[in-house]
Chains A and B, each alone.
Chain A
Amino acid sequence: EVQLVESGGNLVQPGGSLRLSCAASGFTFSSYSMSWVRQAPGRGLEWISYISSGSITIDYADSVKGRFTISRDNAKNSLYLHINSLRAEDTAVYYCARDGNYYGSGNYYSLFDHWGQGTLVTVSS
């Protein structure tokens, strides 16, 4: 069974830093790209970062570029998100999600096929 378990969320003061972790199990972690998606309280989903299976390709949403750093350790089956210079608007549940590739209608498509339960980051003084 595929499992993704996030941890590291906490109450942090503005300007502070955090490292979020996502422990993966039940699949060959090193074969899959991964993403982080966040959801502010009562708000919608926001894609924030992507990392390819071998860490060659990394992307960030403009809203977090320069402050967030995604990384992974395939030997430890773990995904990370380092967050710096936290702002009140970064308050959200942070989900890690697996990028799966599925076949349909003659093509392969990428989608977030498995998600963790999320970890809450609260930025407040």
Chain B
Amino acid sequence: SELTQDPAVSVALGQTVRITCQGDSLRSYYVNWYQQKPGQAPVVVIYGKTNRPSGIPDRFSGSTSGSTAYLTITGAQAEDEADYYCNSRDSTNTRLGVFGGGTKLTVL
């Protein structure tokens, strides 16, 4: 099973942007969101749909509705420009992990 993300999204500096992730598995399994900057390993920014790890700014938030998960950045900063990946479980075999295709966020 797959998780589908928009390939690219842009946001003006200081504005709010929402990144989406769609997949059947999201109806029954939680999502984690990862941020990846060029040449770096990914970093988790949201886990368990809505929880923020320590050290992640509170402008990052997560939510879900049905089969869609959302990562919202309220007041985007230049340093938020990165690729964002949702991650959950395969809906046909929940023991298997799956990532979305990623969304490249550009902060204008």
Point out residues on A near B: beta carbons under 8 Å. 35, 37, 44-47, 50, 57, 59-62, 95, 102, 104-105, 107, 109, 111-113, 115-118
Please report the number of residue pairs spanning A and B whose Cβ atoms sit closer than 8 angstroms: 68
Inter-chain contact B87/A104, CB cutoff 8 Å: no
Residues of A within 8 A of B30 (CB): 109
Point out residues on B near A: beta carbons under 8 Å. 30, 32, 34, 36, 41-44, 47-51, 53, 83, 85, 87, 95-102
Inter-chain contact A117/B47, CB cutoff 8 Å: no
CA distance A62 to B97 in the complex (A): 11
Given A45-B42, A61-B96, A95-B41: A105 touches B48 (CB 8 Å cut-off) = yes
Residues of B within 8 A of A60 (CB): 96
CA distance A61 to B92 in the complex (A): 12
* Nearest CB of A to B49, in Å: 8
